[in-house]
Structure 1
Amino acid sequence: MRLLQCDDAGRYSLTDDFVADNAPPYAILSHTWGPDEIKFCADQAEQHGLRYFWVDTCCIDKSNNIELQTAINSMFRWYRDAKRCYVYLADVSSAADTDARDNVAPWEGPSEKADGSLVVGHSKSSSRRRIPASALCGTSLSDFPVSEREAWVRNRQTKYPEDLAYALLGIFDVHMLPNYGEGRENAQKRLRKKIQKAVKGTRANDFSVTFSLSDVPETQHFVGRESELAEMRTNLNSDGSRRVVVLHGLGTLVLQAS
């Protein structure tokens, strides 16, 4: 990965290509396009004592297919390993400046990763996408169900339709080559196959058993566990993080003599 640096005269330059694992401490920019975002990132990095920073518009040679493919598959890791992540949202104002007529989401301030290495500013759009705060602050993403992680980008707008699928590569810890022009649906199909293979394993189908209750006799005398079910609902009513509750033991049948 190449990084940007700014000298005392305010001139920007690119570093040599670092191996990601050996890159120096750096800041990274997440953004919706704006004319001052690079200066914003450079100034913020300097305030936090960071000499280097990364901005995708400058640090990726998109005319080089191999470099672009590498960047797309490495993007999540680059953000994860950054010392600071700055969010430059041109369409978000502070809460004091928000006008409901403008339909602009107010700024809610930063959240910090548990180890203190990453600071992320976010807006209410994160809440609307139902992204739990724990997912932004260090909880392993594998702790969240596949369907929940897919929902995080459901309303996202991307420049290219395929990017809606490619944006999930790091979230599911899978890799695949981008193929711009294949369309969103084909990209999502390829992504789902990768996810299924990663979650279930390549030999999962060898031992799969269809689950069906069609041949199970029904009893009218099963005693439900109302109190246990109520407790389960309470325990599962959480902040969106994954929780597992097990109801074990045999059910109780009320037998009537004929």
Structure 2
Amino acid sequence: MSENSGNLRIAVLVKQVADVNAIETDPDSRGAIPGGALVMNTYDAYAVGEAMTLKESYGAEVTVICAGPESVREVLLRGLATGADAAIHGVLPGNNAVDTLALAGGLREIVEDRAFDLILAGQVADDYETGQVPAQLAELLGIPHVSLVTHVEIEVEGLHVRRDAEASKETVRCPMPAVLMVLSGRDGPRHHPSLRGMMAAKRKPIERIDVPTIDPASRLSWSEPIVPEKVFAGVIVRDEPADVAAGALADWLLEHKLLERRES
């Protein structure tokens, strides 16, 4: 950690993904129609919000980082409009199809000499949901990482982190620098781009860095996405009294040997 909290330097890794709520499909081929809206990954937006909260509390300097083609400038602008101080575009050529470890290696080249005290990222991406890049980056940097993070505090000794481990809530303390994978935003929608923020973001420079050459073997090829055919099965009981509907359900369960009849 820097000598005082006012010098705390935070990086936030963000990813541009297709808007899963706006994907259209061809009813004949069941394939996705290309050209849909591109947005910031949901969990990365939570990470940006957490960084803004830490900035307000500790006077941190926040840098948003995104690797990808030219289109990722839009998500970097959103990060700046939310309150980030700087942005870095790791330029990836071609179709941006890079395996997670190769991408983590490229991000390491961007961040390792910049003395970040804390690196935040979303828990998973909306598209492939692997959740691998932040952990791989931490391993390549030789620093600790914590997943499923819901709350972060900065202490003299390092980080005080709360995480949601599904069946339990956990508290973790770890030194800095570290990588944290943010699961949810503690402040809800409080941190979001404003009109004033968007105007200010356009005046902030976005640093461009060519991501180091990646072994072609790390490039991925994908088959065309296909929407599964909807198959409806089951028995629907309509407009019947409750006892009749319950009897129909019991008969179906007995027929399919999911329920055993007990003799009275």
Higher relative contact order (CA 8 A, sep 6+): 2
- Normalising by structure 2, report the TM-score: 0.25
- Normalising by structure 1, report the TM-score: 0.25
Structure with greater proportional helix content: 1
